[in-house]
Amino acid sequence: MTVESTAARSDARRSGTGGKRATQAATGRAAGNGTAEAPESATASGTPRKAAAKTSRKPAAKSADRTKSAGSTKSTGKTTRKAPAKTKAPAKARTRVSGDGPGQPEPELVQLLTPEGERVTHPDYDVDLSAEEIQGLYRDMVLTRRFDAEATALQRQGELGLWASLLGQEAAQIGSGRALRSDDYVFPTYREHGVAWCRDVDPTMLLGMFRGVNNGGWDPNTNNFHLYTIVIGSQVLHATGYAMGVAKDGADSAVIAYFGDGASSQGDVAEAFTFSAVYNAPVVFFCQNNQWAISEPTERQSRVPIYQRAQGFGFPGVRVDGNDVLACLAVTKAAVERARTGEGPMLIEAFTYRMGAHTTSDDPTRYRSDEERTAWEAKDPIQRLRVYLESAGLADDAFFAGVEEESEAMGRHVREAIRTMPDPDTMAIFENAYADGHALVDEERAQFASYLASFADSDSQEGR
């Protein structure tokens, strides 16, 4: 394991920068004085390049053989032209956000698409996508949001026991999900509906779990997408162990673990960080910081920005605009490529916002203001990409109309799927609790059966 010098970590803390140059494990340190030589860094497509000296930082030139993400996004429309030249921005032009705690500096975000839909560049991370690939990202986000909205409505109608909405987090999930190869392995929490879509998991299988009629419904090894994990943070340890096995097998695939800002406070996550660093595991930790762990804001969970925690474990951390699908794609591509080439773990903090409730059993109006949500609605990930597509001439009205038709078809498919699903077995919770039965469980089963029967008696009396 290679650990950054004290001087490099101090520089990163003073600047608040989350770029690879400030956090990448140091190599070739000058003897005796802790001065860092410019390390090799990777572009968004994994092409190595030298980072510029700190005193004269300039955007690095694009590699001539940069690999495009063809095949990693769904293509729609018939346009075949490439995206026009990007609007150049100064190397330091990154969006500032408020600090995560009292007296904290304002961390910088990796951003390629501003909230106003303007395409900008970043010195360490970028992507070069065709019009079709950008259209594919837009389509993915729209369809994922429609599925999520239908699932929320179905829960309100009594068809699902619970639902955890991803509203507002589409860019973080689609951008990172489309950065992966088919042989990479994903460990999700319970909100990664967009990543599941990218891994070709039938969305209706997610509904079965929240309806209580299956435990997930899909084979994790078919799509390299593990089952949803309700226990907070445990999947991060599972991902680390799996990644250690991948390294021992000599494979060049990567593993990615998704978790939220609340889960970052779990001991399992800290243990995963320790093991991944010690064993140089090929794992990417993707934290969707939606700023609310149910009713607790991030500043009550951490005294430093989450991505900076990686420094204490000896591997890089970076904060990306979680509402910018292009930036999330670029940063994740770089991180998984870094893992594949044996450079070890990396922490990505996607700074985003949970637009809805934590789950459908939560009421966010009790702990946050309407003004806060309104401010983040102006940073909507789907709208900003649409503005860019329209302003750059990369999509026409026919394309958007086609996506809207697909969205309507998605809604019908989800509703029809629910109607054909069986009702959950309400007595199944008492089965297999003990191998040989238990008197207390038998008593509770009888009490619950009597409780359910009371509803049938009430219905029959009303029907008289």
Q: CA 402, CA 77: separation in Å to the nearest integer?
A: 8
Tell whether the torsion through CA atoms of 383, 385, 390 and 395 is positive or negative. negative
- Among residues 358, 384, 386, 388, which one is catalytic? 358
**Alpha-helical runs (H) found in 181-324:** 193-198, 203-211, 220-223, 234-249, 267-278, 309-313
- 123 and 72 Cβ atoms separated by less than 8 Å: no
**Phi/psi at 276 (nearest 5 deg)?**
-65, -35
**Phi/psi at 245 (nearest 5 deg)?**
-65, -40
358 part of the active site: yes
Q: CA 235, CA 254: separation in Å to the nearest integer?
A: 15
To 10 degrees, the CA torsion angle through 120, 123, 128, 133?
-60
If you search the block for the tokens 């956000």, which residue do you land on?
97
**Phi/psi at 441 (nearest 5 deg)?**
-65, -40
DSSP string, 155-206: HHTTSSS-----TT-HHHHHHHHTTS-TTSEEE--S--HHHHHHTT--HHHH
Residues 177-197: b if buried by 16+ CB within 10 A, e if exposed: bbbbeeebbbbbbbbbbbbbb
354 part of the active site: yes
Q: Residues near 374 by Cβ (< 8 Å), separated by ≥ 6?
A: none
Q: CA 420, CA 280: separation in Å to the nearest integer?
A: 47
300 part of the active site: no
On the CB side of 207, CA atoms within 13 Å amount to 27
Q: CA 400, CA 404: separation in Å to the nearest integer?
A: 6
On the CB side of 136, CA atoms within 13 Å amount to 22
DSSP state of 47: -
- Among residues 14, 300, 367, 451, which one is catalytic? 367
- Among residues 122, 178, 354, 386, which one is catalytic? 354
Residue 276 identity: S
Catalytic residues: 354, 358, 367
